[in-house]
Amino acid sequence: MSDTPDESAPPVMRGVGVIETALETMPLSPGVYRMLDAKGEALYVGKARALKKRVVSYTQIARLPERLRRMVSETVSMEIVTTHTEAEALLLEANLIKRLKPRYNIVLRDDKSYPWLVLTEDHDYPQIAKHRGARVRKGSYYGPFASAWAVNQTVTAMQRVFLLRSCTDTVFNTRNRPCLLHQIRRCSAPCVERISREDYAGLVDQAKTFLSGKGGAVQAALATEMEAAAETLEFERAAAIRDRIRALTTVQGTDIINPASLTDADVIAAWQIAGQSCVQVFFFRGGRNNGNRAFFPAHAKGEEAPEVLAAFIAQFYDDKPPPPLVLLNHPMPEQDLIAEALTIKANSFGGGKRVEIAIPQRGEKHAVVAHAELNAREALERKLAESAGQAKLLDGVSEVFGLAAPPARIEVYDNSHIMGTNAYGVMIVGGAEGFIKSAYRKFSIRGAITPGDDFAMMREVLERRFGRALREEKEGPGTPSWPDVVLIDGGAGQLSAVRGVLEELGVDDVQLVGIAKGPDRDAGREWFHMEGRPPFQLPPRDPTLYYLQRLRDEAHRFAITTHRAGRSKTLVTSELDEIAGIGPSRKRALLNHFGSARGVKQAGLQDLESAPGVSREIARRVYAHFHPGAHVAGNA
């Protein structure tokens, strides 16, 4: 057999030839295989107990569905990675699918991190707080939670029951009186020593016991403590403990949303309508409901719910520890293998427990799975209704602007600055799924901008955006995301300037539209400007007009918030940066000690000299900078 496929053969047979060549040296061991296209991008990632036996099936074209025949016809090379076991191959397959997003796989599009609750362990008085990202701080972590709202609710409940502080160490170190949280009985005020270190440590231990799922033991201990306080006539203390018990009872309330039989578990249910799927996940940790989240995996229309669930679960737990129990509404193919792989994943996070996958048929667990299934169905119905409405709006845009087809991607640009300072340009994107926030971009203007010269700002933004897209198209694999419509906030002058920039770059296949308010500046009477057409207006109550207004207003909102964030950052840092001798470490010491740049500015000379990490000379230099008229004695 020739190593080079016959170029005169049909594409599908050339793909078969590539696979047959790879089979000559392919082992029978477990592993993962990747099918690659002409650009080197992954078309499909699969795993196998015996690689050679699995991959040979792709050469039997007559037995493959049309979708896989297309995949084989696009295959120009293959890569394999061997593993020790099939479970390890499953974990590697999930990791590669999530990272490479091959278009012939079922892909979980989940780029959001999950919040956790942390009890710090590097301070005498541990803090309870929300946490995202890497666990760089020493502490006990609990979660994950489905959303920031869910973890914030838990933090609030923990404050009411255990009176733990939520303030940062910087705020804690600068307090000289109790804050409002102490007044409303949500903090024990350790910052001003209203509680001893030993008693606070007892509260922390109770909180850890509760978070580990032993709320009953905590409640019994509090009841005993309340009775003891009442017997010794400490009625005020007994009343405070009573309030904590009431708060704990509220937190531990059980129903179908918070079942008593689930300690640490995830409930996962899939629902399908019209070839699309929604997977709903409920998180239960320590006997508490940590919230739920809906996911919409990308897959071919022919994929059934069990296959979607299997692919989803493997990818979902790629970067997070699975709980000991996973409840589903459908049995999955290779369910035992997936459970074995999840056990390996749990052990890699230090779990040390076997993961069980179950499909309950009755009782409380079945009820909570049915509840998750109902949520999946309703979420998918809402998404389909929104998509249908969005499709109708895009049809309207196509009709208004004379496009050949509804636009898949609409880009809107806007600028924000104050007299040329802190200048930013932004791009927002709309499409069939509504606002595509992952595609939003910020452009910090690099060139010198004359106050009021929005044309120059827009030129720089467009040159950077389309110049980069053109370079990516020439230099690397992958197709850049090109807009079908570019919407500019402005009239004929702005439209002409944008057209000139794109013509210089050689971009001539994008429809440009300017949207300008009329002389009275009233929303609803906008004028639209397009090349080759006189300016026109849409009827005031036209849904397409409302949609285009929303796109423009979203770009304006994003530009303003981006500008404000950049300006705030500059205001916080610029004055300290202007002082000679103040580097990053001294600036950090000053901000940590005084809490803000304003605190540094208002500090007296003696306060500056007493700040840690700040010498007497530096303190005088800082003071002199903020108080240029004051007399500061020289060194003795």
Token pair, residue 118, equals 């942390």
CA–CA separation, 317 and 108 (whole Å): 11
Residues 6+ away with beta carbon under 8 Å from 410: 397, 429, 430, 431, 483, 484, 485, 486, 487, 551
Residues 6+ away with beta carbon under 8 Å from 450: 420, 456
Residue pLDDT, tens place only, 44-62: 999 999 999 999 999 999 8
CA distances from 31 to 289, 341, 467, 489, 505 (A): 37, 14, 41, 53, 46
Burial class (CB in 10 A: 0-12, 13-18, 19+), 97: buried
CA–CA separation, 314 and 341 (whole Å): 8
CATH 3.40.50.150 fits 11-100, yes or no: no
Extents of the domains making up the chain: 11-100, 116-251, 265-381, 409-569, 578-626
Token pair, residue 354, equals 């076997």
Of 3.50.50.60, 3.30.420.10, 2.60.40.10, 1.10.260.40, the CATH number of 265-381 is: 3.30.420.10
The superfamily CATH assigns to domain 578-626 is 5' to 3' exonuclease, C-terminal subdomain (1.10.150.20)
Token pair, residue 14, equals 């050339």
Report which secondary-structure segment, H or E, holds 267. strand 265-273
> Which pLDDT score is estimated for 480?
60
Domains 409-569 and 578-626 alike in fold: no
Alpha carbons within 13 A on the beta-carbon side of 445:
30
> Which pLDDT score is estimated for 314?
92
> Which pLDDT score is estimated for 523?
57
Name which of 359, 366, 211, 363 is nearest 284 in CA terms: 211
Residues 6+ away with beta carbon under 8 Å from 62: none
Structural fold of domain 409-569 = Nucleotidyltransferase; domain 5 (3.30.420)
Name which of 318, 291, 329, 38 is nearest 154 in CA terms: 291
Parts of the chain with a pLDDT under 50: 1-3, 254-256, 420, 477-478, 571-572, 635-636
> Which pLDDT score is estimated for 328?
96
CA distances from 351 to 31, 198, 342, 354, 412 (A): 25, 30, 11, 9, 47
> Which pLDDT score is estimated for 575?
65
CB atoms within 10 A of CB 174: 14
> Which pLDDT score is estimated for 453?
65
DSSP structure string for 341-361: HHHHHHHHTT--S--EEE---
